[in-house]
Amino acid sequence: MYGIFSRPGEAARAGFRVGNGVIDLAAALGDEVFRSGSLNAFMALGREAWQEAYRRIRALDVARIPLAEVRTHLPFEVADYVDFYASLEHASNLGRMFRPEEEPLKPNWRHLPVGYHGRAGTVVVSGTPIRRPYGQRLVDGVPEYLPTAKLDLEAELGFVVGVGTEPGQPPGPFEDHVFGVTLVNDWSARDIQAWEYVPLGPFLGKSFATSISAWITPLEALEHLRVPGRAQDPEPPGYLRRHAHWGLDLRLRVEVNGETVSRPPYGGMYWTPDQMLAHMTANGATLRTGDLFASGTVSGPGDPGSLIEITWNGAKPLPNGQTFLNDGDTVTISAGPALGEVTGTII
């Protein structure tokens, strides 16, 4: 997994994490591109360069710096950030809670991967403390400006664009553009979100912070986990047709203060990331290096990726009586050895 690290008194530079050790890529390989304090320049080089670097890294036999001795940094400069809504279970659960009088899924949901533009400037690296946001929320039906009382997590996968497109240039295959995968926690203030989201979607209820792992797993390292995407009905339009298997057989683990509260399966997601990439460029919108698009909350039957679903909007507390996040709580999302982890503590 690629990341940016530093040690006291040294400049931040690129590293490759193997287990709990970090290879200093600039020292081990000598490439100037790895001396940068972000992965953007390397990510912009394209697939052949990524494959070549990964081959050379795997052939290395060098000492690794213990992970505990390094400080990690935001691994890339985030260009645009888009969050999708690709889990059938998550979209259905939220629909039932927020719009109980309607069909849980809006009529568009099975025809296109629904998404919204998030705030790139507040994407933070794992370990960054998360300040409880203020916002408008209803108190006895009256909007008041207060700290959120329903701070939640959303366990997601994020896809990082390395190679962009020029105006008028449709994107090529998914693997020509997407450099790798990271874990995402899309922190959400449910009371602020519930009051503000109609009709234009999430805004301040989510834009205060989005955490990502310090480590990006290159697509090559996920080959063994690739599976067909979930069957889709109706068949999506031609530009959303799948040409390769971009489902990933991964199970996320969501921990609150060290207790596992859910194990959401990524493999059951309705929309796959190749379809998301095709959709976000289907109108001619260009891609650029550092674009981040996230899957949306990963929820499976019985394994939701958010507290609002696990506790059914607070009606069914966790065994310890908890519903939403308290100050001092630490949330950690992981997904086995192929990916890192994303953690954050509420302050």
CA-based angle 143:144:149, to the nearest 5?
105
23, 27, 31, 33: CA torsion to nearest 10? 70
Residue 186 CB, nearest distance to Ca ion (Å)? 4
Q: Terminus-to-terminus CA distance in the chain, angstroms?
A: 29
In whole angstroms, how close is the CB of 346 to Ca ion at the nearest point? 17
Q: Is 111 among the residues known to form the active site?
A: no
Whole-number minimum distance, CB 290 to Ca ion, in Å?
Answer: 19
Beta carbon nearer to Ca ion, 80 or 186? 186
Binding interface with Ca ion (CB under 5 A): 83, 154, 186
Closest distance between Ca ion and the C-beta of residue 119, in Å?
A: 12
Could you tell me which of 79, 304, 66 has the C-alpha nearest to residue 179? 79
Q: Which residue is nearest to Ca ion (CB)?
A: 186
Which residue number, 80 or 154, has a Cβ lying nearer to Ca ion?
Answer: 154
Query: Alpha-carbon distance 51 to 212, whole Å?
Result: 23
As measured in angstroms, the least distance from the Cβ of 307 to Ca ion is 13
DSSP state of 324: S
- Quick check: helix, strand or coil at residue 333? strand
292: tokens are 């981040």
What residues have CB less than 8 Å from 166, skipping those under 6 apart?
A: 286
Ramachandran sector of residue 188 (left: φ over 0; alpha: ψ -120 to 50; beta: rest): beta
By C-beta, is 34 or 81 nearer to Ca ion? 81
Of 73, 90, 243, 245, the catalytic one is 90
Could you write out the DSSP letters of every residue in 308-323?
HHHTTTTTS--TTS--
Of 186 and 291, nearer to Ca ion (C-beta) is 186
**CB closer to Ca ion, 14 vs 124:** 124
User: Nearer to Ca ion by C-beta: 24 or 83?
Assistant: 83
| Residue 62 to residues 18, 24, 56, 106, Cα–Cα distance (Å) | 12, 9, 12, 53
We find the least distance from the C-beta atom of residue 220 to Ca ion, in angstroms, to be: 27
The C-alpha angle 274, 161, 53, rounded to 5 degrees, equals 110
SS (H, E, C) 259-276: EEEECCEHHHCCCCHHHH
Residue labelled with tokens 């009606």: 315
Residues marked as catalytic: 90
